[in-house]
Amino acid sequence: MFTKDSVQRVLASVIDPNTGRDLVASRSVKSIDVSASRVSVRIVLGYPARSQLEPIRQAVLAALLAEPEWPAGAQADVVVDFEIVAHSVQRGVKLVPGVRNIVAVASGKGGVGKSTTAANLALALAAEGASVGLLDADIYGPSQPTMLGISGRPESPDEKSMNPLVGHGIQANSIGFLIDPDNPMVWRGPMATSALEQLINQTNWRDLDYLIVDMPPGTGDIQLTLAQRVPVTGAVIVTTPQDIALLDARKGVRMFEKVGVPILGVIENMSVHICSNCGHAEHIFGEGGAQKMSEDFKIDFLGSLPLDIQIRMQADSGVPTVVAAPDSKAAHIYRQIARRVAVAIAAKQRDMSGKFPNIVVQNT
């Protein structure tokens, strides 16, 4: 007789290719109903997976129908969906309203393609069905207005807060929306960190699954402010294979470790250049550096991206690769990296602070 236990056993044999774990061990099985003529299964993934829902559904169907005990003539109904919840952050840091998870995209030094990676990562998460925002935290050199092709100033509904602007389906805010593009930001550290906190806390983010924060390069005041006062779910480090970049990237990893922000993984940018004329592959900045760094620190290697003129041109034009060329190899890599980041977040402990009522003690 085919029972719920039988279905559970079958589902324990189906591996989610994105997590590497079976659907039972990953607690993705939400309901099982068994009758003489029908078996219904509901699977809920913990990460955005619009492109993965049908392949996983087909894998579950195939496993069920291949079971020798499957009742003759019975139908199988399999529903696969995803739900993104808030996960734990640093102790004692107040959550940002309207935001479930904040991901800092950081680098130890400039020039490694961090902002381009942050924009494409945000757009890749959105392409997989998540509600995503992008905060440009580079106060001195904001680039996201250009990369997202957004112009104009945020509106303030109450003279105290501001609404994010929207580009390619994601919410965004940047100091670049508030100043003249040709004006340099000649601010000292305290003014810059104050501006960052206002951008995060006074923006009316609307029901975001993920807020991607494009960090400025380095490990200075702004980075420490974000790590100590902003509820960061995890950080992604972007580097090139070059030894000099890796030295600074290691400092970035150490900084986040010291302030209790988990590292979700490392992305190696500009890993290899493919000549557009002859197809020759050359590792201009070295080879395998980020992979070795991830092994040294025992953190995940999320993937590598090529040194491709199209990625640069698309970002400069305000239509990043994931949107401009969604079927390209580079866009595929960005989406794969985005899923890995989301899976790493889903594996973290959930934030339960919103489940508890506020307790007020007063004299009666």
The pLDDT of residue 22: 95
Chain centroid to Cα 96, Å, comes to 17
The pLDDT of residue 184: 65
Say which CATH architecture domain 4-82 belongs to.
Answer: 2-Layer Sandwich (3.30)
Q: Which residues are annotated as a binding site for ATP?
A: 108-115
- Residue 204 and residue 161 in contact, taking contact as beta carbons nearer than 8 Å: yes
Instruction: Identify any residues that bridge with 104 across adjacent strands, giving them in sequence order.
Output: 213, 235
Residue 134: phi and psi, rounded to 5, are -130, 120
- Residue 143 and residue 252 in contact, taking contact as beta carbons nearer than 8 Å: no
Q: Which residues are annotated as a binding site?
A: 108-115
The pLDDT of residue 56: 97
- Residue 128 and residue 326 in contact, taking contact as beta carbons nearer than 8 Å: no
Query: Interhelix angle for 243-258 vs 289-297, to 10°?
Result: 30
Rounded CA gap, 149 and 165, in Å? 11
pTM score: 0.90
pLDDT tens for each residue of 323-358: 999 999 999 999 999 999 999 999 987 765 555 455
Residue 28: phi and psi, rounded to 5, are -90, -15
For domain 99-346, give its CATH number from 3.40.50.300, 3.30.499.10, 2.40.30.10, 1.20.1250.20.
3.40.50.300
Q: Where are the domains of the chain?
A: 4-82, 99-346
Strands of the 75-82 sheet, one edge to the other: 29-34, 38-45, 75-82
Ranges of residues in the chain with a pLDDT under 50 are 356, 359, 364
pLDDT tens for each residue of 299-323: 999 999 999 999 999 999 999 999 9
The pLDDT of residue 1: 61
